[in-house]
């Protein structure tokens, strides 16, 4: 028996495919025999008198359903090819594509004035509305998921016409009092950044659209990365232990390889120090809120950003209180956009230029209902797929045990944004509730739901450090609004934590010396050249809109790369996944991957196209150039900057800001954490001073 064809058919209705095969498809050759899963085509001497020399054989065509999607395979039963075998395969593919074309979901227009969100969406998403009714605050969260998807689609469909929310005012507002130094819009990631700045003595206002402290995502991180927040004085070690919901022994990375050739099957990659700390996000936010207020900060929650007017000496922000409907205003020296992917400021800042990729992510926190043998809570699933491409998406799961019996489960896919196919949260939720029992054995009705978790995680394929604007006069974007995080496993939270030290240090310098123009603020960004070069990897995880790929293609690419990491020492995988790899590590692994799977380059060419490959080449050259600069400068520039800070910053603050940003970017982009770099600089200076003291003491 030999496999001849493997197809993904983008429909949930397998029986419809079976009926079509049995009743309507006409292959013109062979004798059709129906089976419960499809058909058989028999070729005998009597049925094929023109091919009398060919031994008797048959084709078996069968279907199955997994991941809410139908799949089809064709096997030949017999050693010799059947008559016109290739033509039959081509005919079957062509006819299936015509009968079952790829259809991209549209968001229904609903009116909630006469009905609930559940009633309005039930005809389109029955499983989603059913289980959201079992989630505390489910009606509120489903409305928010619908709102978020609607806003995202509007931004994608009208990329050249972003809503103007930032206005320039050339007048100097002498009579208007500047109430705050910093105004943060967005209270999730924003409060972490804001608390550090408030602790430095700045007057800070935090504006949050939701009730402060409520999150639609959970956060995971490692001890080493969270240490940067402790080093900054934001948390004590005891407080960090208090907000840990769970610490795992190991994390697994495994992709389905049942349809991959043997050389593209991979063993499980173990990453015990990647995302192995589950943070109780609401505890973290509540603690940050307390520290923020204790440092003099103010929080206006349930308040929506409307617009901002940039003046010569301040920025005036117009807001709306969602509880009362009343209008509010505030003025500050600098506005920080931390609104994430739905930020209208970010859209305007980049002139409606759409993101290159996005991960529509849905999931839930589940308090109980899983049988004990389903999952050991001392382990996490970092990345996992249990099937091949499903309706034009490679679905990937994450599972992170939390406090007590809680499990946080996500379903997402890497997506190339297209106006016809922006990416849907609600369609993903329908799949989540349908196929969760396939991923982890469970009965949905027995699960105890705690809250929904969802969002769009955007990505931008940066060619260089100035490829995307993150600033305007008296305006700076951070976190997901800046879209400079890793395209692999980290969200804006990971990017912010890893870069918080350098971002707050540079921002402190800018505020202290009133360097608040676009030119100066653009130095304050979480860009890393080593992350920028990996966007081609995420490109390989996407199915381009309008294209049909072999169902096993994405899993084969993932197994190529993660199989390599599984064979490397553990620190290599840890370094790569945490975005700390250097130029030599990247190139060594890329060359090994090409030798292991020579078709990899052809596949990437097919999925990315010549234009994106040339664009990536520019990213790679920028990475190489910065690696050379890092080799030339990192040995002495950071040390010299620390030694010269007292006079250089005082006399030439703009130059100091530029050089500090340049040095930090080289450290991060060449695989060295800027915080670690500074620690090494300080240790080197201490050693030098100690040596000098020893010399003086010996002489005396």
Residue 10 token pair: 């983008």
Residue 90: which residues within 8 A CB-CB, separation 6 or more?
A: none
Instruction: Reply yes or no on whether the pLDDT at 14 is more than 50.
Output: yes
According to the model, what pLDDT value does residue 699 have?
43
For residue 323, give Cα distances in angstroms to 38, 89, 163, 301, 652: 57, 61, 24, 10, 47
Instruction: Reply yes or no on whether the pLDDT at 685 is more than 50.
Output: no
- The residues with which 75 forms a beta bridge, in sequence order, are 3, 60
Give me the sheet containing 219-221, strands edge to edge: 219-221, 277-279, 244-247
**Residue position matching structure tokens 């009398």:** 52
In this structure, are strands 277-279 and 244-247 parallel, antiparallel, or unpaired?
Answer: antiparallel
Listing DSSP states for 367-392 in one string gives EE-S-TTT--TTEEEEEE-SSS-BTT
pLDDT band at 459 (very low <50, low <70, confident <90, very high): confident
Instruction: Reply yes or no on whether the pLDDT at 262 is more than 50.
Output: yes
Instruction: Reply yes or no on whether the pLDDT at 100 is more than 50.
Output: yes
- What whole-number distance in Å separates Cα of residue 80 and Cα of residue 87? 15
**Among 53, 59, 52, 50, which Cα is nearest to 78's?**
59
Q: What is the percent of the chain where pLDDT is above 90? A: 59
Instruction: Reply yes or no on whether the pLDDT at 596 is more than 70.
Output: yes
Question: 204 vs 158, which has greater pLDDT?
Answer: 204
**Residue position matching structure tokens 């997506």:** 415
Task: Tell me how crowded residue 351 is: count the other CB atoms within 10 A of its CB.
Answer: 11
- What whole-number distance in Å separates Cα of residue 147 and Cα of residue 210? 13
- What whole-number distance in Å separates Cα of residue 289 and Cα of residue 494? 19
**Residue position matching structure tokens 């010996």:** 698
Domains and CATH numbers, the chain: 2-99 (3.30.310), 637-699 (no CATH)
According to the model, what pLDDT value does residue 353 have?
63
- The residues with which 159 forms a beta bridge, in sequence order, are none
- What whole-number distance in Å separates Cα of residue 578 and Cα of residue 475? 29
Tell me the per-residue pLDDT of 154-172, one tens digit each, with 9 for 90 and over: 888 876 677 889 998 866 6
Instruction: Reply yes or no on whether the pLDDT at 184 is more than 90.
Output: yes
640's enclosing H/E stretch is: helix 637-651
Note the maximum CA span of the chain: 111
According to the model, what pLDDT value does residue 286 have?
92
- The residues with which 418 forms a beta bridge, in sequence order, are 421
Yes or no: say if 345 and 327 are a contact pair by the CB < 8 Å rule: no
DSSP 163: P
Average pLDDT over residues 92-113: 94
The alpha carbon of residue 617 and the mean position of all alpha carbons in its chain are separated, in whole angstroms, by: 23
For residue 169, give Cα distances in angstroms to 308, 357, 473: 10, 34, 11
According to the model, what pLDDT value does residue 678 have?
46
Residue 647: which residues within 8 A CB-CB, separation 6 or more?
A: none
Instruction: Reply yes or no on whether the pLDDT at 681 is more than 70.
Output: no
Question: 354 vs 645, which has greater pLDDT?
Answer: 645
Q: What is the Cα Rg of the chain in Å?
A: 28
CB half-sphere exposure, 491, CA atoms < 13 A = 20
Phi, psi dihedrals of residue 382, rounded to the nearest 5°: -75, -50
Residue 406 token pair: 């809680």
Tell me the per-residue pLDDT of 277-287, one tens digit each, with 9 for 90 and over: 999 888 999 99
DSSP 137: T
According to the model, what pLDDT value does residue 48 have?
44
Yes or no: say if 673 and 495 are a contact pair by the CB < 8 Å rule: no
Yes or no: say if 348 and 166 are a contact pair by the CB < 8 Å rule: yes
Averaged pLDDT score across all residues of the chain = 87
Tell me the per-residue pLDDT of 41-81, one tens digit each, with 9 for 90 and over: 988 755 444 444 445 678 999 999 999 999 999 999 877 88
Helix axes 138-157 and 425-439, enclosed angle (nearest 10): 120
**Among 195, 172, 169, 171, which Cα is nearest to 182's?**
195
Q: What is the percent of the chain where pLDDT is above 70? A: 89
**Among 200, 227, 541, which Cα is nearest to 392's?**
541
Tell me the per-residue pLDDT of 405-432, one tens digit each, with 9 for 90 and over: 899 999 999 998 898 999 999 999 999 9
Average pLDDT over residues 19-23: 96
According to the model, what pLDDT value does residue 688 have?
39
Average pLDDT over residues 133-145: 95
According to the model, what pLDDT value does residue 47 have?
44
Question: 452 vs 357, which has greater pLDDT?
Answer: 452
pLDDT band at 683 (very low <50, low <70, confident <90, very high): very low
Tell me the per-residue pLDDT of 615-642, one tens digit each, with 9 for 90 and over: 889 889 989 998 999 888 878 898 899 8
Tell me the per-residue pLDDT of 569-592, one tens digit each, with 9 for 90 and over: 999 998 888 878 899 999 999 999
Burial readout 260-294 (b: 16 or more C-beta within 10 A, e: otherwise)? beeebebeebbbbbbbbbbbbbebbbebbbebbee
In this structure, are strands 475-477 and 471-472 parallel, antiparallel, or unpaired?
Answer: antiparallel
Average pLDDT over residues 4-22: 96
- What whole-number distance in Å separates Cα of residue 215 and Cα of residue 270? 29
For residue 484, give Cα distances in angstroms to 467, 535, 601: 11, 11, 26
- What whole-number distance in Å separates Cα of residue 128 and Cα of residue 434? 9
Instruction: Reply yes or no on whether the pLDDT at 173 is more than 70.
Output: no
Average pLDDT over residues 174-187: 86
pLDDT winner (highest mean) among 329-343, 485-499, 657-671: 329-343
Average pLDDT over residues 343-358: 77
Listing DSSP states for 464-532 in one string gives STTSS--EETTEEE-GGGTT-S-SSS--HHHHHHHHHHHHHHHHHHHHHTT--SHHHHTT-----HHHH
């Amino acid at each position: 028996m030999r496999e001849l064809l493997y197809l993904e058919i983008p429909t949930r209705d397998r029986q419809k495919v079976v009926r079509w095969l049995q009743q309507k498809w006409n292959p013109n050759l062979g004798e059709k025999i129906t089976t419960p899963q499809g058909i058989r085509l028999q070729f005998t001497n009597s049925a094929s008198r023109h091919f009398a020399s060919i031994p008797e054989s048959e084709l078996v065509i069968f279907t199955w359903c997994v991941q809410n999607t139908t799949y089809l395979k064709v096997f030949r039963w017999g050693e010799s090819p059947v008559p016109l075998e290739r033509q039959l395969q081509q005919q079957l593919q062509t006819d299936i594509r015509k009968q079952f074309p790829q259809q991209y979901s549209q968001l229904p227009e609903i009116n909630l004035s006469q009905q609930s969100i559940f009633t309005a969406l039930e005809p389109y998403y029955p499983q989603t509305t059913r289980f959201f009714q079992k989630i505390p605050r489910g009606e509120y969260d489903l409305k928010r998921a619908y709102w978020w998807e609607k806003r995202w689609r509007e931004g994608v469909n009208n990329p050249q016409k972003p809503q103007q929310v930032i206005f320039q005012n050339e007048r100097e507002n002498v009579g208007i009092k500047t109430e705050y130094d910093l105004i943060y819009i967005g209270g999730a990631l924003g409060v972490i950044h804001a608390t550090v700045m408030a602790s430095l003595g700045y007057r800070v206002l935090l504006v949050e659209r939701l009730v402060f402290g409520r999150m639609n995502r959970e956060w995971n991180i490692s001890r080493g990365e969270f240490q940067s927040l402790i080093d900054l004085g934001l948390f004590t070690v005891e407080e960090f232990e208090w907000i840990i919901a769970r610490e795992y022994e190991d994390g697994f990375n495994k992709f389905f390889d049942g349809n991959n050739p043997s050389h593209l099957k991979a063993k499980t990659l173990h990453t015990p120090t990647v995302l192995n700390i589950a943070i109780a996000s609401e505890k973290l936010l509540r603690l940050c809120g307390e520290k923020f207020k204790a440092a003099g900060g103010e929080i206006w929650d349930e308040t929506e950003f409307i617009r901002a007017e940039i003046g010569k000496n301040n920025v005036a922000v117009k807001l709306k209180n969602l509880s009362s409907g009343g209008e509010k205003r505030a003025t500050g020296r600098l506005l920080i956009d931390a609104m994430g992917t739905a930020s209208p400021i970010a859209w305007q800042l980049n002139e409606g230029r759409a993101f290159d990729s996005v991960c529509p992510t849905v999931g839930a926190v589940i308090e109980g209902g899983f049988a004990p043998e389903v999952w050991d809570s001392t382990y996490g699933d970092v990345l996992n797929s249990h099937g091949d491409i499903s309706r034009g998406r490679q679905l990937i799961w994450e599972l992170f045990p939390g406090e007590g019996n809680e499990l946080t489960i996500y379903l997402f896919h890497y997506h190339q944004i297209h106006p016809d196919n922006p990416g849907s949260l609600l369609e993903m939720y329908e799949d989540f509730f349908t196929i969760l029992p396939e991923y982890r054995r469970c009965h949905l009705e027995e699960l105890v739901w705690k809250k929904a978790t969802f969002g769009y995680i955007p990505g931008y394929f940066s060619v260089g450090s100035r490829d995307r604007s993150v600033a305007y006069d008296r305006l700076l974007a951070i976190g997901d609004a800046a879209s400079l995080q890793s395209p692999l496993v980290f969200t804006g939270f990971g990017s912010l934590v890893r870069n918080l030290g350098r971002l707050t240090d540079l921002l402190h310098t800018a505020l202290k010396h009133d360097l608040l123009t676009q030119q100066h603020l653009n130095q304050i960004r979480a860009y890393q050249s080593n992350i920028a070069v990996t966007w081609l990897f995420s490109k390989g995880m996407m199915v381009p809109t309008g294209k049909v790929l072999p169902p096993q293609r994405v899993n084969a690419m993932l197994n190529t790369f993660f199989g390599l990491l599984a064979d490397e020492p553990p620190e290599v995988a840890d370094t790569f996944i945490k975005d700390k790899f250097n130029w030599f590590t990247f190139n060594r692994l890329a060359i090994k991957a090409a030798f292991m799977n020579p078709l990899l380059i052809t596949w990437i060419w097919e999925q990315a196209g010549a234009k994106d490959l040339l664009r990536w080449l520019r990213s790679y050259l920028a990475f190489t150039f910065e690696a050379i600069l890092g080799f030339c400068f990192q040995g002495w520039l950071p040390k010299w900057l620390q030694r010269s800070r007292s006079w250089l910053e005082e006399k030439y603050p703009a130059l100091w800001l530029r050089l500090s940003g340049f040095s930090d970017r080289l450290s991060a982009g060449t695989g060295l954490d800027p915080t670690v770099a500074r620690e090494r600089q300080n240790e080197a200076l201490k050693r030098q001073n100690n040596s000098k003291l020893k010399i003086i003491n010996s002489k005396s």
